[in-house]
Amino acid sequence: MRSHIAEGMTVTGDIDGDIDLLLDGKLEGNLRCRAVTIGKLGSLIGKISAQEAFIDGRIEGDIDAKSVHLNETAVVIGDVRHEVVEVAAGARIEGHYSRSEELQKIEAPKDPPVSAGVTISAAVQDEDDETSTDADDEDRDGADVVTLGPSSKVG
């Protein structure tokens, strides 16, 4: 399942789930998932634990991922633990790298909710201080998508 936190959204709290997350907004909390893409305008203050991490935005915290891709606009302030790392020219890193063979598989929680496969303990707020629900979106190829965006609500 692919989930999305849209530009203009701030999620405060930890996210654990067997998901692929696209973060174009802001997450203040730890993230544990299958794969994460931090968009150019996305930011995370907390730790990432994932199989794959694709970073175009800003991270203030450590990254533990089997495969880490730091693109040219990436800013990482924290340590990166990986099996495979790719760093593009222009990426900014303030921290240490360490290669680890122990990152075979970062497990998602044992009992994720059946409805969405993700547990969010968070407060979600958009730029207008409004929230609403829209979890039945589909992406362009018809796959199920759970989107937290300006029209989304948690709780």
Is the pLDDT at 133 greater than 80, yes or no?
Answer: no
pTM of the model: 0.69
Is the pLDDT at 28 greater than 90, yes or no?
Answer: yes
pLDDT of residue 58: 98
Q: Which residue has the higher pLDDT, 148 or 89?
A: 89
Is the pLDDT at 62 greater than 60, yes or no?
Answer: yes
Domain assignments of the chain as residue spans, ordered by start: 2-148
Assign 3-state DSSP to the chain and report helix, strand, coil percentages, each to 5.
0, 50, 50
DSSP 138: B
**Mean per-residue pLDDT, 100-123:** 51
Instruction: Round to whole Å and give the CA distance between 55 and 68.
Output: 8
Out of 37-51, 73-87, 105-119, least confident range: 105-119
Burial class (CB in 10 A: 0-12, 13-18, 19+), 28: middle
Work out the pLDDT band at 1, boundaries 50, 70, 90.
confident
pLDDT of residue 50: 96
Strand 118-120 versus strand 15-17 pairing type? antiparallel
pLDDT of residue 18: 93
Q: Which residue has the higher pLDDT, 101 or 115?
A: 101
**Mean per-residue pLDDT, 139-148:** 39
